[in-house]
Amino acid sequence: MSDIDAAAGRYTTIAGEHRSELDVKRSRFITVLQRTETEEEARALVAGLRREFHDARHHCSAFVLGPTRSVQRSNDDGEPSGTAGIPMLEALTKRETFGGATDLSDITAVTVRYFGGILLGAGGLVRAYSESVSSALAAAPLLRRRRMQLYAVPASHADAGRLENELRSAGISVTGTDYGASGASITVALPDVPGTAEEFRDRLAALTAGGSTPEPLRTEWIDL
């Protein structure tokens, strides 16, 4: 499986920020992984770590963005060309996630290197930068994102609690309930795949004896 799965409506990302450190022949490789959804967020992370580790020699980076991983960038930051950023990027794009998928996205990796006085050579640098990201990923919490259709389900104040519980019991994802002067509105999230909306309408009709019709709101990506 690959990022084709993301085009079909789901992909994997990191939860929050994670840090790890690797020592190779007295050089310190400090890797920071962070969830980022835009190039601005990715570049802000790099800039912030340059300030935090201002005395380090290199701040190499790689990031993958978007549900279909359409944005991929890397930077060697002074290391010999191709020995840092590209190995880091490949560690991200080839990382297997849930079910063996290689669909990791919306993630930035920055590896800060403190030179230890021993030259590693091109091959040694490639291995060190790749391993630093892979080791960080091995310990980082991952989560799935899915493209969902959001619908509003109208209900009376008296029926809202019962209907919300019945929807949850039926395996429907309920994201919240709003109470207004004239009634309640239950927001549900359905997988954005053919046939799901029609199936939900039929189930809702059965639960409410035809008394409630879902109203489409929008489509968005949601953390599972």
Query: pLDDT by residue (tens digit) across 76-96?
Result: 999 999 999 999 999 999 999
Distance separating alpha carbons of residues 37 and 31, to the nearest angstrom? 19
pLDDT score of 57: 94
Residue 154 to residue 184: CA distance in whole angstroms: 6
pLDDT lower than 50: segments of the chain = 1-4, 6
Residue 221: the pLDDT is 94
> In whole angstroms, how far apart are CA 77 and each of 58, 74, 109, 212?
6, 9, 13, 58
Residue 167, helix vs strand vs coil: helix
Q: Round the average pLDDT of the chain to a whole number and report it.
A: 94
Q: pLDDT tens digit string along 114-142?
A: 999 999 999 999 999 999 999 999 999 99
Spell out the domains of the chain, with CATH numbers in brackets.
Answer: 4-140 (3.30.230.30), 147-223 (3.30.70.240)
DSSP 102: -
What's the confidence (pLDDT) of residue 224? 83
Please tell me the distance from the alpha carbon of residue 154 to that of residue 15, in angstroms, as a whole number.
Answer: 33
